[in-house]
Structure 1
C-alpha cells in the first residue's frame, strides 16, 4: 500500500543525561513502524551503568541545583515555556509518535500533542493558585504546613500514548520542584526522546534525563536504584506488581496506572444513537489500545440484538489503513506479537462457547503492517476469558443484562476497576448504577473525558494512587509541619535544685 505522508526517524537513538547523549552500554533494539512492519530506527539500550549516570545527574540537580529552590512564579514561567516548545514542535512530535506507534497522525496532532502542551500549562496554573495550611486552634501556637519536593522521580511511560502520558508525569514532577529520569517503552521511544531533548533548552542541567531500554533491564535498574525517591508507572498490571515490589525494597512510594477491563453499560433508557457512537469510540479509538477502553459492552437484553447488529454494521465499515491519511479511522496494532495475541482471543472466545460476530482476522490486503479487522464477540458469560482478560486491542466483548443491579454486578465482577461508562437518560437509573460501580472514573453519556483537576486512577488491579492536580501535589511533595509559639511559653526547668 502507498502511504500518504512518509515519515523519517533518527537512524540511531540513545539516552540523554544532563543534556548530553549517553553511551547506553547495552544491546541494540530495533524500532518498527507498525503500518509497514519496516525497521525505522535502532535503539541502544541503557544498562545499569548508564541508568546510574542518569540517576546521579538527577540527584546532583536536585541536591545542589537551582530547580528545587526556584520560586513558584519562576517555575511557572518555565512550565509555560515547555508548553510553547511542544506547540511549536507539535507536527514533528506527532509524526515521530505515529512512526513508532501507528496511531492516527490526525489524532496525534489534534489531541495528543495538544494534551501534552496542556499538561504543562495546567500544572503552571495549579502551582500558581495552590494554597498553604495554617492552624490557629492551639491558643499559644501557630502551625503551618509547607510542601517540599520529594527528590528524584523515575517516570516510566507506556507504549500506547507515549507523549501524552509521559508529559503528564514530567509536568507534574517538575511543577513541584523534583528532578526526573524518564523511561519510555523500548517499542515507542522516538517522540518522547525528542520531547526530552527539546525541553533541555529551558530546564537547568540534569533536571530532566532520559534512559531507554527494556523493562527487565533498564526499567529494573531504574526502579531499584537507591538514588530514586519516587516512581510513577503507567503500563501493564504484572509489570506494575514487579515495579512496586522492587521499589518497596527501598521504601519508595509509587503511583501505578495499570490495566482495565472496563464496562460500557447501555441501558433501556439510553439514547441509542449516542450510545452506539460512544461504544464505537470507547473500543476502537487509539487503535483499540488504551486502558480506558470500554471493552465489555453490557447491553440490556431488550435492545441487545438491535444494538449489536448496528454496532457490527458500523464496525465493518470502519476505514482501516494508513495512519497518516486524514480519512483513516483505525490504524495498525503496535507490534506483530501484540497483533497475534489480540487475534488469538477470537479462538479463546470460541473455545469458551462464545461467537465471533465480525472481524478476528488480519487485514492482509494492507500489506505487511500489523492491521486487524475490528472485532466483536458475544460471550456466554462474564466468566469467559474474553470478558476477564485485558485484550488491549480493537476487540469488543458483548454481554446482556436484565436489571440495573445485574449490570452493576457484572461490571464489578473483574479484577480491574479503572473506568466505566453508563448510557441512560433516566436520572434514577444513572444514580443507581454509578452508586454501585467500583471503578476510579465513571463517564455518564460521554466517551473519554480527562478532567485534570480531578483524581484519575483505578481500583484493584487497575492501579495504586491517583494522578490529577491535588493528587499529584500529594505524591510529588513531602509535607512539613512547622509549629511556632506566639510568645515564649513556660518550660519546665529539669535538673535545677528546688
Structure 2
C-alpha cells in the first residue's frame, strides 16, 4: 500500500525521508499504510511556512467577518466529507463507526462553527476612569501555534485545536499521533479544500521524541497545545518552559463516577456504562472508578454487570457494535497486565480481564470490571485508559468525596443524585476541573475544559482559547493635550 504523506506544508503534501512508521487497523491488524517520519528539517519547513503566512497577513489581517465565513466553509466541507472522514477515523482507531460519525466527526464541524460564532462577539475593554487618559485593552494573535493531538480522538480533538488557533488569526502546525494520523491528514486536506490560504494550517507526522520535540523547540513556534499522557505532558511543558513558551496541557484522568442512593437508578446505570465504555474506554475523562453507595450496592452491581455482559463487542464497522478493539497490540497487553495486577493484589474480577475469545484478529478485550475496598490499589490509582472499570463502595457522602479526591488526577467527576443539596455540596467538594451532575460527558465549548493536579495545566473553551491564542496589548491615549513637565529648561 502506498505511503501517506509525512507533512502538509504551505498547502502541499510532502513525503519525507524519515523511517517508515506503519499505521495499523486495530480491528484486523492489517497495515493501512505507512508514514515516513517528518524530521527536524520538515518541521522547520512547516514552521517557516506558518510564520510566512502569519507575517504577510494573508490570514492574520483578514477581517473577523472573512475569518467567520472561512471557518463556516470548513465546517460545511467537514460535513460533506463526513462519511469518508468517519470511515478513516474508524479504520485507524477502532472506534465504532457509529460513534465516529455521531460524536467525533460531528464535533469536528461543530468546533469550527463554534469559533466562528465566538469571534463575532469577542470584545476588548476600555477604562476611562482617569480624567486625562483613556486606556483600551485589545488582543492580537500570538503568531504560530504548535498543536499536538492524541490518538484516542484525533479528529475531534485535533479540530478543536486547529479551530481555536486559527479563529483568532494565528497560523498553526498540527502533529497527530504517529499511531493514528490518518483522520487528521484527511481533516487538513478538507480544510484546504474549503479554500483556507496556504501555510495557515500545516501538518507534520512522526513520533513525539523526534517530530514533536522538534516542533516544541522550534523558535518560530510561539505556543504549544498538547493533549495526551501526563508523563509526555511533563516533558513537553519542561521543554517549552525552557524557551518561556506558553503551553496548555490536557493530560490524564482517573475520574470518579459517584452513584448515590438518591440517584435515578436506571439513569445511573446507563451513565456509568457510558462513562467507561464509550470510545472503547479510551478517553481521559472516563469514569473509571465507580463509587457506589453501600445501601444500593446489592442492586446496582448486578444490574451493571448484567449490562456489561450484554455489551455488543464487535467489528467497529457494524452498526450494532458498542465496543470495538483497543488501539494497538501494546495497549491491549498493557490493559491485560493491569487485570493481572488486580488479581495479584487480591481484587475481585467481576467481569472480563481477558482477550475476547470471539476474534482471531484484532485487539479485542472483554469489558472488564474489578472490585476492591482499597482505594489505593494500583488499578484505582493509575490511568488504564481502556474498557476497565473498578467498583468501590462507600457509606457516607464524606466517604465518597474522600475516595474520589484520593488521586493524583483531577480532570472530571460524575455525580448521580436527585438530592439538590447533595449535588451542590458535591460540586463544591470534588477536586476536578469539570463536574458532571446527572449527565455523562456533556462538553460545553463556551466553558473551560481542563484538569486540576496532574490532569493538566490551562483549559480549552471559548474565553480560554482566546486568552491562550492571543496576546493582550494595553493602549493608553491622552484625552487632550497634556501639560508636560519640560525637562532641560533650567
TM over 0.5: yes
Matched, 1:52 2:44: yes
* CA 1:270–1:211: 2 relative to 1, 3 Å: same
- Secondary structure of residue in 1 paired with 2:358: helix
- Maintained 8 Å contact 1:160/1:289: yes
Q: Contact 1:25 / 1:50 at 8 angstroms: preserved in 2?
A: no
Give yes or no for the alignment of 1:91 onto 2:83: yes
* 1:181 lines up with 2:173 in the alignment: yes
State the partner residue of 1:437: 430
Contact preservation (8 Å) 1:25, 1:49: no
- 1:64-111: CA deviation from partner (whole Å, max 9, x where unpaired): 231111111111111011111100100110000001100011111122
- Corresponding residue of 1:64: 56
Residue in structure 1 matching 2:35, options 29, 43, 58: 43
- Structure 1: how far apart are the matches of 2:202 and 2:69? 20
Pick which of 302-311 and 416-425 moved more.
Answer: 302-311
**SS in structure 1 at match of 2:137:** strand
Q: Deviations over 1:189-227 (max 9, x none)?
A: 111001111212311111000000000110011101111
Q: How many corresponding residue pairs?
A: 489
State the 1:397 CA deviation.
0.4
CA distance in 2, matches of 1:68, 1:269: 53
Deviation at 1:25, TM superposition (A): 2.4
Q: Secondary structure at the match of 1:467?
A: coil
**Contact 1:349–1:379 under 8 Å retained in 2:** no
Aligned counterpart for 2:289 among listed residues 287, 296, 308? 296
**2:131 matched to 1:139?**
yes
Equivalent-residue separation in structure 1 for 2:411 and 2:289 (angstroms): 13
CA–CA separation in structure 2 for the residues paired with 1:405 and 1:44: 53
- 1: distance between equivalents of 2:477 and 2:364? 65
- Paired with 2:3 and 2:206, the residues of 1 have a C-alpha distance of 16
| Cα distance between partner residues in 2 of 1:281 and 1:362 | 21
**Is residue 168 from structure 1 mapped to residue 160 from structure 2 by the alignment?**
yes
What is the TM-score of this pair, normalised by structure 2?
A: 0.99
Q: State yes or no: 1:129 paired with 2:121.
A: yes
The question of whether the paired residues in 1 share the 8 Å contact of 2:5 and 2:15 is answered with no
- Contact 1:13 1:41 (C-alpha < 8 Å) held by counterparts: no
- Shift of residue 300, structure 1, vs aligned partner: 0.5
- Asked whether 1:325 is paired with 2:318, we answer yes
Equivalent residue, structure 2, for 1:425: 418
d(CA) in 2 for partners of 1:269, 1:248: 46
Q: Which runs of 5+ in 1 are unaligned?
A: 1-8
* Unmatched tracts of structure 2, length 5 or more: none
Q: Say whether the 8 Å CA contact 1:262–1:418 is kept in structure 2.
A: yes
Structure 2 residue aligned with 1:339: 332
CA displacement at 1:434 relative to structure 2: 1.5
Q: Give the direction of change, closer, same or farther, for the CA distance of 1:330–1:10 in structure 2 (3 Å limit).
A: farther
Distance 1:423 1:494 in 2: 70
Residue 16 (structure 1) aligned with residue 14 (structure 2): no
Tell me, what secondary structure is at the counterpart of 2:134? strand
RMSD over aligned Cα atoms: 1.0
Counterparts in 2 of 1:66-465, with a 5 A limit? 66-201=58-193, 202-465=195-458
Instruction: Give the whole-Å Cα distance in 1 for the aligned partners of 2:264 and 2:15.
Output: 57
In 1, the alpha carbon distance for the partners of 2:360 and 2:82 equals: 29
Aligned to 1:4: none
SS in 1 for 2:54: helix
Q: Which residues in structure 2 correspond to 1:474-493 (within 5 Å)?
A: 474-493=467-486
Deviation at 1:375, TM superposition (A): 0.4
Structure 1 distance, partners of 2:15, 2:366, is 41
- Taking the aligned partners of 2:330 and 2:67, their CA distance within structure 1 comes to 43
Q: Secondary structure at the match of 2:19?
A: strand
Deviations 1:362-410 (A, max 9, x none): 1132121000000000023110000000000000001011110111111
Match of 1:32 in 2: 24
